[in-house]
Chain A
Amino acid sequence: MEGSEAITEAALSAGCRFFAGYPMTPFTEVHEGFARRLPDVGGVCINAESELEAVGMAWGAAATGARAATGSTGQGLSLMQESLSEITRAELPLVVFNMARGQGDYFQATRGGGHGDYRHVVLAPIDAAEAAHLTQLAFHLADLWRHPVLIYGDYLLAHTSEAVEIVHRDFGPLPEKDWAVDGSLGGTGRSRNVNPIGMTKGSKGIDPAAFWDHLQQKTDRIEAAEARFETESCEDAELVVVAFGTLARFARYVVRELRAEDLPVGYFRPVSLWPYPKGALLEAARGCGGVACLEQNAGQMIDDVRLSLLGEAPVLPIGGISTDAAGFGVGPLLDAAVIRERVLGALREIRP
């Protein structure tokens, strides 16, 4: 099945029962999948009048305790940033899919385009099989932390067909959703107010500082617990190649090819873009002569690579802007031969 279908089937298997979206290439097929399949499982899919309302509807569904999701491509997610930052403060579990056009949305995804102090988990699948797994994991992590989780997919993932088996996964126990709003506590004096401002029933006014501190402590706990990465043949590597998402699949292929030719190259892939696996990258790059950062944009993840290494090793950007005639993302960089040349170039640069 195509990546888009793998994502929707995985979401359904994870118990997702609400989706709202607005069509936009290359996210449309994910939206179509939910529209087609959610009714089969008693779920609801709404064609929102804009991305602004799509995330608003998902907010309402999540607030009642249902597993809910929304999504778009980078441009549509720009419309959702205010809501995403407030949903984070309202501590609502929501899964958001960015089927991006290339990797230029890295900052938007990892730093967030909303206001105030907030971060949310970002998982970037390398292929359809991992996309299914990370989608299921996303719903678990969202409920575990009461926090939004973003899946960073792209055009290639959306439209590449692969053999994918959707297996129901159980990631372990989850806290009760006693906070979920269902109307039942009205008139009891203990009624709920799911809100991003820090209001509490019965007491006038709010204490923003205390409220934001509480949220930041949770963010720090998430950062310490949820970093994920994949690494290969870095132990004796002279050059470590860092890449994420479907582009990393090409990088891994090239590194394996060069290793077969006895060239000292290693491969590191952050599966979570936030929290970025800084410690693991520093460890993987220990003793190497340089780290090559391969990304399909003008240079965004390179900031996190430099932050991880803090000068331990030189960082060489070998990616760049690369897209097709429509700007949807499948450009000349997505080619093993091109990447091979760039990796070899970097190797030459760091070896005396």
Chain B
Amino acid sequence: MSTANKEIGPPVIELGAMGWLRKNLFSNWYNSLLTIFGLYLLYVLIPPLVNWIFLDANFTGSTRDDCTNEGACWIFIQQNIKLIFYGLYPTEELWRINIVYLILLISGAYLLIPNLKYKGWVGAFLLIIFPIICVVMLSGGLGLEAVETRLWGGLFLTLVIAGVGIVLSLPIGVMLALGRRSKLPVVSILCTIFIEIWRGVPLITVLFMASNMFPLFMPEGVNFDKLIRALIGVMFFSAAYLAEVVRGGLQAMPKGQYEASQAVGLTYWRMMALVILPQSLKMVIPAIIGSFIAIFKDTTLVLVIGLFDFLGIIQFVGTNPDWLGFSHEGYVFAAAVFWVFCYAMSWYSQRLEKKLDTGR
């Protein structure tokens, strides 16, 4: 009997495309109904969208009069691309931004390719030297003409705010989380107060404070750049959220890991850096990236203090009399670009999780 069983496969009805369809889409009457309804919804939504975005859209031309087709007028984006990507940054200085992008792109790609040597050095370069290059290249100095930050704008400004906010808020968040769990009551209370205040205030309030209130507290004549004030606000705001995410990871660590580290003689900071944080940060990667994505999208709020980020400038361009009435195109374009960046972060988070998995 047992030898005969080898020749029996799964029932034919469960194999192949038909089997899959039957199992997943038409397993019973309400599942079938849902499937049909879903297909109908796709039929109603997708073709008009595709038509509007691609098939009936206008891609070539230079003025609104060239938009003769039914669909989207991408000429609007095309004609304003410099504003949308770089804001009012002087055209003859744009190469400076592009070089910064290029450096970032090359070193980022280098870090993403597996099994390359000297990744540590490239990482150190990105974290230590690259920011200095950015400051000099973007705002001027060392013979480069100064470009005031009020001219910065568009996607470039969004990336600056989000990038600085994200990169600086993680270490601050980690320190705040450690501080909140500290055995020293003063440290713990101070960190807790700091975190709770920042988390209890909407970002828009933080930005208003940074832009309007903060100068009132400064001595006469001291004037911080508005962008820097906004950056500091975004950074602390994000750090407070990250602190709580990281604290969650720290709390999930088994006590045995602390004890084993202490037993082999590691001091507090080494224990944290070598044993506890690598594990607890790994546990909360999805939540950390979630915070990053939120901060990236929240940068659009800087519009309220008069900084023209990516979305802000698209709205601004839409008010140009030459291009009135093309806000749909602008918003769809903005959504697509935001989605690309956010999805990239999400993708990287999953990749990182897989890479760091040691099968606990």
Q: Do A and B bind each other?
A: no
Interface residues of B (CB under 8 A from A): none
Interface residues of A (CB under 8 A from B): none
